[in-house]
Structure 1
Amino acid sequence: GPEMRSTGEAMSLADEFPEAFAKAYQAANMQLPLSGAVFISVNDQDKNQRIIAIARALYRMDFDLIATAGTHKFLTENGIECKKVFKVGEEGRPNIFDIIKHGKINFVINTPRGEKALHDEEAIGAASVLSNVPFVTTIEAAEASVQAIDCIRHQEFGVKSLQEYASYRNR
């Protein structure tokens, strides 16, 4: 399908959304991790059942979870094991920028809100891009990414022609 690799945009087709999303990542020359560490930092509005479900799914897939203080507190209060890390502007090292830069993070979920959070997000985003670490900035993208990771881990992707998809859709 159409791709805009320079901006990271891609389109793909599959019978199910998680497979299509995983293929779009691959078409944009990004690889979703199948193991390793995931950094999670969400704004207060996103500290809800959706992020709990995302974190639990990642934990069940044996990912190590790393979170900033507020997210760490929320996740641990909800029974999810994770490690705490310093934010970019906080005193103390290593902070999340250092950890990403040194290749110890494989996926980033960061939903910033407010001016300070946007400054941190710029640094986290820059470190992620430089380190070729996929990152998402919305809960919806995090949910889709986790579904895609699970899909990649459990099935092989097939290839179909556009005609096969068209004939399937026209039934």
Structure 2
Amino acid sequence: MRSTGEVLGLAENFPLAFYKSQEAAGSELPHAPAAWENKKVLISLSNKEGQKDQVLEIGKTLKNLGFTLVGTQGTADFYNANGIKCDVVNKIGAGRPDVVDLIMNKEVCLVINTPKAKRNYAEDRKTIRKACLKYKVSYITTIAGALAAVKGIEAVKNGNGGEGGVKSLQEYHSLIK
């Protein structure tokens, strides 16, 4: 049998299952910061208004978990206008430090980037993805993925992962009613 590289995140709830699936895939999500830590999440979103409720939930959840938000100008303006503090970082080619500098300097522990499909954004998307892979920073490209990730981080912090540990498929099956 040949490996297809697929992984399974299995848990008693979806947020924890998603968190575990990312860990198994080698794209481990960060833990919520302890009181003495300053962990930053870089956010650059193209469609903030079209998915406003989800985008605000992502920002609020990250802030409530203790993360510092850093966004490109439009994203930072959106969050700040909605009462969620977000620092500003330059886009690629708009001055230094820019988003790639933050990744290279290990200043961020998670990147959420949902770029537009235009030609100049495609090159930025590749550059950001390569930097995230090289410097081992988790990278999310959809609002749905970002929402699942922050809910997973929240579940781990709040201990909503059931008893934890490893269970066999048979043990999970026995819980079905």
Normalising by structure 1, report the TM-score.
0.89
Instruction: Provide, for residues 80-112 of structure 1, a one-character-per-residue CA deviation record: whole Å limited to 9, x for no partner.
Output: 10110000122x101111110110010011001
Structure 2 residue 72 is the aligned partner of structure 1 residue 75 = no
Cα distance change of structure 1 residues 115 and 47 upon mapping to structure 2, 3 Å threshold? farther
The aligned amino acid for 1:44 is N
The aligned amino acid for 2:30 is P
Checking the alignment, whether the CA contact within 8 Å between 1:43 and 1:111 is kept in structure 2 is yes
Q: 1:58 aligns with which of 62, 77, 90?
A: 62
Aligned to 2:36: none
Instruction: Provide, for residues 24-48 of structure 1, a one-character-per-residue CA deviation record: whole Å limited to 9, x for no partner.
Output: 1221233211231000000135561
Please state whether the residue corresponding to 1:10 is helix, strand or coil.
Answer: coil
For structure 1, the 5+ residue unaligned runs are: none
Structure 2 residue 26 is the aligned partner of structure 1 residue 22 = no
Count of paired positions:
164
RMSD: 1.7
The aligned amino acid for 1:161 is S
Aligned to 2:126: 122
Structure 1 distance, partners of 2:12, 2:65, is: 23
Q: 1:159 aligns with which of 154, 160, 166?
A: 166
Structure 2 residue 44 is the aligned partner of structure 1 residue 41 = yes
For structure 2, the 5+ residue unaligned runs are: 34-38
Higher helix share: 1
Instruction: Provide, for residues 104-151 of structure 1, a one-character-per-residue CA deviation record: whole Å limited to 9, x for no partner.
Output: 010011001122222211111111111100010000000000011111
Report how far residue 65 of structure 1 moved.
0.4
